């Protein structure tokens, strides 16, 4: 594993458990346009079983198609506690199941979900490639795999700046030196669309498919 990418699961769990009481206040509105854009690409059929990787406080529950079965996983038990409180008051006929689980070792059978979505998580895990394989594995054939995240610029000054900043941001919960678009495109996930979002278009919505 790349040295820079040695983010331990344990430390991410600690960092995000620490953030949990005020996560929505800090990262709620600022990252919401990207969440809304990502969910806008989700097939609107009701009664889908959709996996959300890194569900956090459950800030996305209102964005799901009606009557969907939302299965959310997160490494942080404190985040899952918060998400459970939101789930208890969620409407739209959702069924919501929540588990503490590592995104890189999903405890689900192959092809268990109609779609898999992961907002702002891929740069927080220790093995982003494994995460992509896991998302692909648990998704049904023909299902959507949607990611929204910061993605390092492929070249130029911005790219070097993002590499330089990465060790600092790693201490607060994510890296900035990962070209997420390139990484996802190198996997078995078929990338259908990449759309810019959020402040200065620094983030990307990647809409993929399991063929």
Ligand X SMILES: C[S@@+](CC[C@H](N)C(=O)[O-])C[C@H]1O[C@@H](n2cnc3c(N)ncnc32)[C@H](O)[C@@H]1O
* Residue ranges that bind ligand X, judged by CB under 6 A: 9, 12, 16, 27, 31, 35, 54-56, 59-60, 73-76, 79, 102-104, 119-121, 124-125
Closest to ligand X by CB, 141 vs 168, is: 168
Closest to ligand X by CB, 124 vs 155, is: 124
Q: Give the whole-angstrom CA distance, residue 131 versus residue 51.
A: 13
Closest to ligand X by CB, 131 vs 209, is: 131
**Shortest Cβ 126–ligand X spacing (Å):** 7
φ/ψ region of 109 (left if φ > 0, alpha if ψ in -120 to 50, else beta) reads beta
Q: Give the whole-angstrom CA distance, residue 96 versus residue 70.
A: 5
Q: What is the dihedral of CA 172, 202, 35, 125, to 10 degrees?
A: -40
Q: Give the whole-angstrom CA distance, residue 109 versus residue 32.
A: 31
**Shortest Cβ 28–ligand X spacing (Å):** 8
Closest to ligand X by CB, 67 vs 105, is: 105
**Shortest Cβ 144–ligand X spacing (Å):** 16
Per residue, the 3-state secondary structure of 111-150, as one string, reads CCEEEEEEECCCCCCCCHHHHHHHHHHHEEEEEEEEEEEE
**Shortest Cβ 18–ligand X spacing (Å):** 10
Number of H helices, E strands in the chain: 6, 7
Closest to ligand X by CB, 21 vs 142, is: 21
**Shortest Cβ 46–ligand X spacing (Å):** 22
């Amino acid at each position: 594993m790349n040295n820079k990418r040695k983010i331990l699961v344990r430390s991410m769990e600690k960092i995000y458990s620490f953030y949990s009481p005020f996560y929505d206040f800090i990262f709620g509105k600022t990252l919401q346009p990207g969440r809304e854009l990502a969910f806008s690409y989700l097939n609107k059929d009701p009664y889908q079983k959709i996996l959300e990787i890194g569900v956090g406080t459950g800030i996305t529950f209102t964005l799901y198609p009606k009557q969907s079965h939302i299965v959310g996983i997160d490494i942080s038990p404190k985040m899952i506690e918060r998400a459970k409180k939101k789930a208890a008051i969620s409407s739209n006929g959702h069924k919501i199941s929540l588990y503490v689980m590592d995104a890189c070792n999903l405890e689900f059978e192959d092809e268990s979900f109609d779609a898999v979505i992961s907002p702002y998580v891929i740069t927080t895990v220790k093995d982003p490639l494994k995460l992509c394989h896991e998302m692909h594995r648990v998704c049904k054939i023909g299902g959507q795999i949607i990611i929204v995240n910061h993605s390092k610029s492929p070249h130029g000054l911005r790219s070097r700046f993002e590499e330089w900043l990465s060790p600092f941001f790693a201490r607060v919960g994510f890296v900035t030196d990962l070209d997420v678009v390139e990484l996802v495109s190198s996997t078995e996930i078929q990338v259908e669309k990449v759309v810019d979002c959020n402040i200065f278009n620094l983030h990307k919505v990647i809409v993929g498919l399991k063929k």
